[in-house]
Amino acid sequence: MVMLPPHWYPPSRPQSIGEVLDTGFKIFQTTLLPCLPYGVTWVVVGQLATLHDLAAGRPLRAFGGSDPIGWLWFALSIVLALAIWSLLILRQSALASGRTSSLAGELRITLERLPQLVALLLVAAAACAVGLLLLVLPGLYLAVAFTLAVPALLARRLGPIAALRYAARLLYGHFWRTTLILSIALVVTLALYTVVATITLLACTLGGVTDVAVVTAVSRAAGIALGAVAAPFGCAIILAIFGELGARREGPELERRMAAAES
């Protein structure tokens, strides 16, 4: 069981873009160590289809290829990654709010709501696809709304469609601002990946490592380690946005609902 001191999340008032980013970084910094196991697991389950191919001695393929078993592994990795994302959101939101957090409680809530989370993913994917085909902007709007719909589903015990509708209402009038915050977070993540990749290649070069297989393995290991950190960072930014938009729409009532979701 983990508990951090309180009560600066969710915010009690609307925040500027800089304040939202600062809140996201603060959530990330204060919850990184307790959330790191989830980050590692999230990266690993995302590679299940690749691990299946490697274990079977097959060449690596994009998605599931033409193998039905490969597609099953791919689907399983998505469902498990969604479950880990739920665990991550529950832990970070609890710790950032100064509440207790336990693996048993997080697992119970995630298992209870996993069918709704999967349904939300399918509904959002279909809606985004239609939106992108008809007009690009509605598809992008729904894609951003989906990132907020997951914490909405967990916090408010909503169904998939209701959670997506609620997230879309939160986002209304704040789409470009929210997209800018997410873009800044993405740029920071990509910059960090670039720095790590450059350092890894330099280390291999200076160390006299010329074997392509070894360099590839080291680079992949560095990427996995960085992905384990990037997952909590991305989740922290999304929670910061969700909390700030909730403060704009609902104020302190959101904090009570987030607390009730953990009970």
Q: What burial letters (b/e) apply to 111-143, b meaning 16+ CB within 10 Å?
A: eebeebbbebbebbeebbeebeeeeeeebebbb
- Tell me 2's DSSP state: B
What pLDDT is attached to residue 2?
A: 46
Q: d(Cα 17, Cα 244) in Å, to the nearest integer?
A: 10
Q: What is the pTM of this model?
A: 0.82
* Spans of all domains in the chain: 24-261
Tens digits of per-residue pLDDT, 73-82?
A: 778 888 999 9
Tens digits of per-residue pLDDT, 6-18?
A: 556 788 888 899 9
Tens digits of per-residue pLDDT, 131-149?
A: 777 777 777 888 899 999 9
- Alpha helices, DSSP H, located in the chain: 17-45, 48-56, 68-96, 103-134, 136-156, 160-171, 175-206, 212-249, 253-261
Using alpha carbons, select from 160, 179, 156 the residue that is nearest to residue 10: 156
Tens digits of per-residue pLDDT, 187-214?
A: 998 888 888 777 877 777 777 766 666 6
Q: What one-character-per-residue DSSP string does 69-104 give?
A: HHHHHHHHHHHHHHHHHHHHHHHHHHHHTT--B-HH
- Beta bridge partners, 101, equal 2
CB 52 within 8 A of CB 40: no
CB 45 within 8 A of CB 205: no
